[in-house]
Structure 1
């Protein structure tokens, strides 16, 4: 009996098991870091971008003639509620920001793993632009099921009380209770299809734009971890601009329709196509582009803050585990 050979085979088997365990632990740690850093980055995004988002939502849902433009909407918000009025409705995204952004960045990490798994014969660990985009699109799928109800609650809080309207809800939990009484779970998740149709291509452009910009800023002979904060901020801002530049028509139009579907009384629209038809009939095609200015103004600073928060927290987490 060749005991030496048997011993070697046993040793190799143990080594393989240990390698698999290390790979699994590394993968789990990577997912956990992506989840936590994504949540922190989302908080940074909300605090930076919420005033822009509030003005955009009011422009998208207001009756014709209510505002002369974004500047007029800001002035009226400040006169009526002061500076704090620009943060009306901020509680829902802050409460939901950790799961939404955490799931998004966790989904992006998962998307990258899927790309690697689907290309076992790859010769380079570096991703192409298309592969970054695929991973980004995958990130939008789990994110949507968290984002849709949170955004529905947010826009309902943002628009109440404008133009002398009724203040119906006291907070996010009151919104959720009211929506459930009106139409059950379906009412809470109204607008999910429109959210996914918007966020799929948007996320693909978002993450691909960030990775490509970051790669271009890396000095020769350096690694991504060597990038300074200025480069991270610029790459993050460009990620937001890329998202809008590539997905302007569907993104802007779907946001208008999604906001109207989510804020309209139950039964107003049978779906996104019905909403588009009625919106165009009532306000013209230009109605689909309402809020475009504030959205573009928000794109750079909010997303720069997002990736700055993500990268800073990720470095801190790398030191912990």
Structure 2
């Protein structure tokens, strides 16, 4: 080691000058705020996605449940031929506000963690796709060149997010649908079989074990994989287009709240437009008496025979009416939560 280097190393004035010069160095404008190669940033981003997704899920349920109630009753043949507005007003008149939220405990209990897992999985899916896209790059190339996911890569990440959420969604949907249909039967003078969400789960376990609780899982997965592709794909595409209109740099700027609401609402409508046929099949299969159908394909054949292909889109109107406000609320909750959790970066 040379004497000059040793002197500079021990000289406080030289050390101070070097530190000031280091602080004054401008950071590279091409380095992304959240890099897959930065473990701390990646873990904090994933945790924020998990928490924010849970908040968004709760917002979606609270805003959209009344119309979801109407959708399920229409799909299972318990609507009595009424219109969406007529069913809402009739339920409100007979059962009050509480009636509009019949069966809400099951989705509220499950949807918050389900959305948390969904947004967490989507975050992880994005990172997996991004890592694959950066395969073969050096570390300097990864850090120096911003990587924007293509729409195809976003759709792949969306599809991946549906797989882990099905384990939570399927039993929740089963219980929710049974409670909603039961409420309509009670109105007609029938007797309630379940006293609530937990009682429904206990009886299903006692009567058919876990297979009964998870009845309709395949249909749920068949609905959710294309649904989440459309969901996250439409949100990201809408977000980018709105940002272009607003003149916001997608690598630096943030969406305004009205833009988040618009993109989120459109995402929800796209999801249900794609997923409604399997949702109809799922609802019928999950609420049918044991032994009525041999599987979801049997449900499909019976439905086509009785109602034609139009039957696959039963409940689409309330689903779309619910989708926009519910998912606008969801993404609004997600984005506001992420902003609130900015201290985790």
TM-score range, shorter chain: 0.7 to 0.9
Q: CA deviation at 1:107?
A: 0.9
Is the Cα contact below 8 Å between 1:179 and 1:187 reproduced in 2? Answer: yes
**Candidates 156, 160, 168, aligned match of 2:193:** 168
Please report the TM-score for the alignment, with normalisation by the length of structure 2: 0.81
SS, match of residue 38 in structure 2 = helix
Q: CA deviation at 1:145?
A: 1.0
SS, match of residue 149 in structure 2 = coil
Q: Deviations over 1:79-135 (max 9, x none)?
A: 321222111011111111221100110110011011112222586511111111111
> Are 2:129 and 1:115 equivalent residues in the alignment?
yes
Q: CA deviation at 1:221?
A: 5.0
**Candidates 225, 235, 258, aligned match of 2:263:** 235
Equivalent residue, structure 2, for 1:149: 171
Equivalent residue, structure 2, for 1:318: 342
> Are 2:71 and 1:47 equivalent residues in the alignment?
no
**Candidates 15, 26, 42, aligned match of 2:41:** 26
User: Within 2, Cα distance between the matches of 1:210 and 1:96?
Assistant: 23
Moved more, 215-224 or 102-111: 215-224
Q: Deviations over 1:16-71 (max 9, x none)?
A: xxxx99822322212111110000000010011001100000001125x8223323
Is the Cα contact below 8 Å between 1:67 and 1:73 reproduced in 2? Answer: no
Is the Cα contact below 8 Å between 2:233 and 2:267 reproduced in 1? Answer: yes
**Candidates 281, 305, 320, aligned match of 1:281:** 305
SS, match of residue 187 in structure 1 = helix
How is 1:247-266 mapped onto 2 (pairs within 5 angstroms)?
247=274, 251-266=275-290
User: Within 2, Cα distance between the matches of 1:161 and 1:299?
Assistant: 23
Equivalent residue, structure 2, for 1:10: none
Equivalences, count = 297
Give the greater-gyration-radius structure (CA).
2
> Are 2:324 and 1:300 equivalent residues in the alignment?
yes
Is the Cα contact below 8 Å between 1:70 and 1:291 reproduced in 2? Answer: no
> Are 2:333 and 1:309 equivalent residues in the alignment?
yes
Change (3 A) 1:273 1:179: same
**Candidates 291, 294, 299, aligned match of 1:267:** 291
Q: CA deviation at 1:188?
A: 0.5
The Cα RMSD (Å) is 2.1
User: Within 2, Cα distance between the matches of 1:47 and 1:80?
Assistant: 20
